[in-house]
Amino acid sequence: MGVEHPLFELCFRADPEALRTVREKVQAALERAGCPPKTVADIIIAVNEACMNIIQHAYKGDTNGKVELAIHCRDSELEVLLTDFAAPIDYHEIRPRALDDLKPGGLGTHFIQEIMDELCYGHLDGETGNYLRMMKRIG
């Protein structure tokens, strides 16, 4: 197994207002790590969409919730880990909406699946909360 390098960690409130700062900090961390511009832009989209899903579906709009974001680089992969402390969600219900279903919203899961190479959802052990681990090959 390769050496893992932490690139970035952030804890923020489950508030859409916080997402601008999240996007800016993710961009800065990925650029410092030398990621290509297209990869940086794609990961920002995936992180933003995943955060919105946490805010809307896990916390159901409760802006007092907490979200943790960590990005690690391991060999030629980036790992993005999002953790919330909301009630456990049913991961079998997470499906992208059909692209021909023309209505606003609901495409975040589709974008995340298209951008990232691997996704893994789970519940935190022994406590309330969920995680999403996303992997992106960069080399």
For the segment 34-48, what is each residue's pLDDT rounded down to a tens digit? 999 999 999 999 999
Q: How confident is the model at residue 2 (pLDDT cuts 50, 70, 90)?
A: low
DSSP state of 9: E
Quote the pLDDT of residue 98.
Answer: 54
Q: How confident is the model at residue 1 (pLDDT cuts 50, 70, 90)?
A: very low
Q: What is the pLDDT of residues 74-126, one digit of tens each?
A: 888 999 999 999 999 876 565 554 545 544 455 668 889 999 999 999 999 87
If DSSP codes are grouped into helix, strand and coil, which group holds residue 55? helix
According to CATH, the topology of domain 4-137 is Heat Shock Protein 90 (3.30.565)
Residue with the larger pLDDT of the pair 102 and 4: 4
By CB neighbour count within 10 A (0-12 exposed, 13-18 middle, 19+ buried), where does 52 fall?
middle
What pTM does this model have? Answer: 0.87
Quote the pLDDT of residue 90.
Answer: 76
Contact at 8 Å (CB) between 69 and 47? yes
In percent, the amount of the chain with pLDDT more than 90 equals: 68
Residue reference for tokens 């690139």? 7
If DSSP codes are grouped into helix, strand and coil, which group holds residue 122? strand
List the chain domain ranges: 4-137
**Distance between CA 139 and CA 132 in Å, rounded?**
22
State yes or no: pLDDT of 72 exceeds 90.
yes
Residue reference for tokens 């993005």? 80
